[in-house]
Amino acid sequence: MDRPFARLTVTEKAARSLRAGHPWVYEGEVLTGGDPCPDGAVTDVYSPKDRWLGAGFYNSRSKIRVRLLTRNTNDRMDEAFFARRIRYALDYRRRVMGEDFADCRLIFGEADGFPGWTLDRFGDVLVSEVLSLGIEQRKDMLYSLVLRELEQAGERVRVLYERSESPIREKEGMSALKGPYAADGLESEPSGRVRIRENGILYDVDYINGQKTGFFLDQKYNRAAAARLAPGMRVLDCFTHTGAFALNCAAAGAERVTAVDVSADALLQAEDNARLNSLEDRIDFLRSDVFEYLTALAEKKERPFDYIILDPPAFTKSSATVEAARRGYREINRRAMQLLPRGGYLATCSCSRFMTAELFRAMLFDAARDASVSLRQIEERRQSPDHPILWGVPETEYLKFWLFQIV
The listed CATH number (3.30.565.10, 3.10.20.740, 3.30.750.80, 3.40.50.300) that belongs to domain 79-192: 3.30.750.80
Name the residue ranges covered by the structural domains of the chain.
Answer: 6-70, 79-192, 216-406
Separation between Cα atoms, residue 378 and residue 109, nearest integer Å: 31
Check: CB of residue 36 under 8 Å from CB of residue 60. Answer: no
**Alpha carbons within 13 A on the beta-carbon side of 272:** 14
CA 310 to CA 63: how far, in whole Å?
Answer: 34
Q: Rounded CA gap, 173 and 89, in Å?
A: 27
Instruction: Quote the pLDDT of residue 219.
Output: 97
Query: Which CATH number does the domain 6-70 belong to among 2.30.130.10, 3.30.420.40, 1.10.1370.20, 3.40.50.300?
Result: 2.30.130.10
Query: How buried is 249 (Cβ within 10 angstroms: 0-12 exposed, 13-18 middle, 19+ buried)?
Result: buried
pLDDT the model gives residue 34: 65
Whole-number pLDDT of residue 317? 78
> Which residues, in sequence order, are CB contacts of 114 under 8 Å at separation 6+?
85, 89, 107, 135, 142
Please tell us whether the domain made up of 216-406 is placed in CATH 3.40.50.150.
yes
- The residues annotated with a catalytic role in the active site are 351
Please give the pLDDT value at position 33. Answer: 63
Amino acid 36: pLDDT = 83
Q: DSSP letter at 218?
A: G
Give the residue ranges of the chain where pLDDT is below 70: 1, 33-34
pTM exceeds 0.85 for this model: yes
